Amino acid sequence: MNVTRTQQGAGDEPIAFVDLRRQYAELAPAIDAAVGRILQTGAFILGDEVSRFEASFAAYCEAKHCIGVASGLDALTQILRGLGIGADDEVILPANTFIATALAVSQAGATPVLVDHDPHTYNIDPARIRHAITRRTRAIIPVHLYGRPAEMFQIQRIASEYGLIVVEDACQAHGATYRGHRCGSLARAAAFSFYPGKNLGAAGDAGAVVTDDDELADRIRLTRNYGSQVKYRHDAQGGNSRLDNLQAAILNVKLPNLDRWNERRRAMAQAYRTGLANLPLVLPEESPESRHVYHLFVIRCEARDALVTYLKDHGIDTGIHYPIPIHRQRAYATGCIPLRPLTYSEMFADHLLSLPMHPHMTVREVDRVIAAVRGFYDVTGTLREVTIPVESVTPSFHPSEFADVVESAGTSTRR
């Protein structure tokens, strides 16, 4: 994608942060046909489309099992409960994630322990994980934030050393890879969200658990459906967290397009990096160890709120992910353990800005965003560059080590 600076024309439409109407327009005949089939059969809860999606998505993630549930939050909660994590247990997670990661831990009855992130990757800092481990620690939840895989080798090595379980929060990382392995295949289990704006999104709330653990998969299939395998026979105290047939039918239409859409996102990210070079802001970094799928394209800058207003005045929608760290939310005034210092989680919350990013943006729209951001700096003058106060050091490793560590850590239990 070649980037040239363009000016907003009088007839230009506003640029949406995400435009799901265009995605539907691309696939409308197939989606309409799939939905029509479900409506005609009247099979809405679970069903053949769910089974087909579960098989397809498990294969896509290079895993044995996929269990469709109602949301990404439910997927994480089901995993933790299925692993027996609950009261008196602690689970380590990044402080800069969406609140659902912490809510899942709380809903399982455990305590979220929040640690800071690496300033370059925005993912949980493995060095800080080690300092957060206590005798109560049972699990680590790395979040593949914004679509960039976390440093799973280092995390699994720590988990193996202390006998901890690793659970991926892959809700923003559909199709991302780490050292050639799909996100969803990097730990004991993984949670995915199919919220409409995700790289692979349904037409409402939906989620899935992906795992190679036969026992865990069987347990979640039971507990997602009232603890029942046969109607009116209940073998466990389960709940209601089922992927419905309509959503699965839509996901079955979209899944074959996911890799192509992700490549489009990556091309847009490169266009942004080229077009926004040499400005006093920090752009997302690429890593040779992973394939970022850019669920979000997040820049870090001074005068963030002024830039938001400027872009809005130029017809460009933006997002902030996330404006308030979890430990500063009223919901977690108590009930979590913030492992201080949380320097980056607290500092960056005021400086992060997500630019429009979806696979149906046009080249002209990408150019307009670039031109508007550059125009902001032309108007305001050069602001001081955002700096990182402390460098983070990431040790290198041999690729063959990864599979061994995953195997040993993925099957370990603490108690």
Give the number of other CB atoms < 10 A from CB of residue 51. 14
Contact 102, 152 (CB under 8 A): no
Delimit the domains of the chain by residue range: 25-256+395-410, 257-380
HEC states along 26-89?
HHHHHHHHHHHHHHHHCCCECCHHHHHHHHHHHHHCCCCEEEEECCHHHHHHHHHHHCCCCCCC
- 287 three-class SS: coil
pLDDT digits (tens, 9 = 90+) for 220-257: 999 999 999 999 999 999 999 999 999 999 999 999 99
CATH topology of 25-256+395-410 equal to that of 257-380?
no
Q: How confident is the model at residue 379 (pLDDT cuts 50, 70, 90)?
A: confident
Triad 245, 249, 254: Cα angle to 5°: 145
Distance, CA of 21 to CA of 1 (rounded, Å): 23
pLDDT digits (tens, 9 = 90+) for 7-37: 455 568 999 999 999 999 999 999 999 999 9
Sign of the four-CA dihedral 110, 112, 113, 117 = positive
Mean pLDDT over 111-136 rounds to 97
Q: How confident is the model at residue 355 (pLDDT cuts 50, 70, 90)?
A: very high
Distance, CA of 316 to CA of 194 (rounded, Å): 25
How much is the pLDDT for 411?
43
Mean pLDDT over 370-381 rounds to 92
Q: How confident is the model at residue 387 (pLDDT cuts 50, 70, 90)?
A: low
Q: How confident is the model at residue 394 (pLDDT cuts 50, 70, 90)?
A: very low
Q: Which distant-in-sequence residues (6+ apart) come within 8 Å of 167 by Cβ?
A: 76, 79, 80, 83, 139, 140, 141, 187, 188, 189, 190, 191
Preceding amide of 341 cis, omega within 30: yes
Burial (CB < 10 A; 0-12, 13-18, 19+), residue 95, is buried
Closest CA to 60 of 236, 210, 218: 210
pLDDT digits (tens, 9 = 90+) for 260-316: 999 999 999 999 999 999 999 999 999 999 999 999 999 999 999 999 999 999 999
User: Which residue is associated with the tokens 């489309």?
Assistant: 49
Burial (CB < 10 A; 0-12, 13-18, 19+), residue 149, is buried
CATH of 25-256+395-410, one of 3.10.450.350, 1.10.760.10, 3.40.640.10, 1.10.1040.10: 3.40.640.10
Q: Is the pLDDT of residue 412 over 80?
A: no
Beta strands 137-140 and 165-169, pairing class: parallel
Contact 61, 190 (CB under 8 A): yes
Please give the CATH number for the structural domain made up of 257-380: 3.90.1150.10
Distance, CA of 206 to CA of 194 (rounded, Å): 5
Q: Is the pLDDT of residue 400 over 50?
A: no
